[in-house]
Amino acid sequence: MAIIRSTPRECFSFFQGLVRELIAATLTKHDVIGPTNQTETKMTLSFVRGGEATIPLKTKYGKLHFYLGQTLEAEPIPKEKKYRLRTRQYWYRLQRTAGIKDQAIIRWEYDSTIQPSRHCRHHVQFPLSLSVPKGTLSLNKTHLPTGWVTIEEVIRFLIVDLGVRPPCGSRWPSVLKKSESKFFRELTAADERARQSL
C-alpha cells in the first residue's frame, strides 16, 4: 500500500495535506503539522506548534498531551519516473505532560526496521505492570501486538473514550470516515498502478 506521485515532494505534500486537514477538523484548529526532519526522499511529519512536539487536549480526565509522528520515505518505482510513499515508522503518544521525552501513558508504535526475530513491529505500550505467577510483567517493556493503527482510529479513541471535543463538532464521524476513505482509495489506486507497472 502506498501513495504514488511524480516526485518525493508531491508524495510528502499530498500526505501532509491529508493529515493537516484531519487534525484541524478533529483535534485543533491551528496549523500544527509539518516536517521536523526532511531529506530529498525521507520526511518525519509531526506537530510543530510553537516549537512543542505535543498538543494539549481537554479530556474528561483532565488535560493530556498528544504526540503524532510519522517517518515517511519516497521510493523510486523501477521502470517508472514516479515515487511510492511508504510509512517507515509511526508514533502516537498520549502523555500527562508536554515534553516528548516524558513518560507516555499510552504509546502506539510501528517500526518497519524491526527484524522478524525481535518484538512486534506494530505494538502498544503502557506504564503498567501485571502480577504473573513468576514475578511482574511490565507493559512498558513488552510490545503488545496491535496490527496497523491509523491516526483516524487513535482520534476516534480520543473523542469517544476520552471525551475530546473536536472543532468540527458532531460531524467528526463523517470527517474520520472521509479521511479514511480518501487515504484507502489513494492506496488502492496506488497498488493498482504499481501492479500495472510490473
Q: HEC states along 6-31?
A: CCHHHHHHHHHHHHHHHHHHHCCCCC
CB atoms within 10 A of CB 193: 15
> What are the pLDDT digits (tens) for 55-76?
999 999 999 999 999 999 999 9
Query: What pLDDT does residue 187 have?
Result: 59
The set of cell numbers assigned to 77 is 518505482
Exposure on the CB side of residue 126, measured as CA atoms within 13 A: 7
Residue type, 122: H
How confident is the prediction for the chain on average, in pLDDT?
A: 89
pTM above 0.85, yes or no: yes
Alpha helix (H) residue ranges in 2-119: 8-26
pLDDT band, very low/low/confident/very high, at 186 (cuts 50, 70, 90):
low
CA-CA distance, 86 to 190, in Å (whole number)?
11
CA-CA distance, 87 to 66, in Å (whole number)?
20
With beta carbons less than 8 A apart as the criterion, state whether 97 and 66 touch: no
CA-CA distance, 198 to 196, in Å (whole number)?
6
Write down the number of H helices and E strands in the chain. 3, 11
> What are the pLDDT digits (tens) for 15-25?
999 999 999 99
Q: What is the mean pLDDT of residues 165-176?
A: 96
Any idea how long the chain is? 198
Query: What pLDDT does residue 3 have?
Result: 86
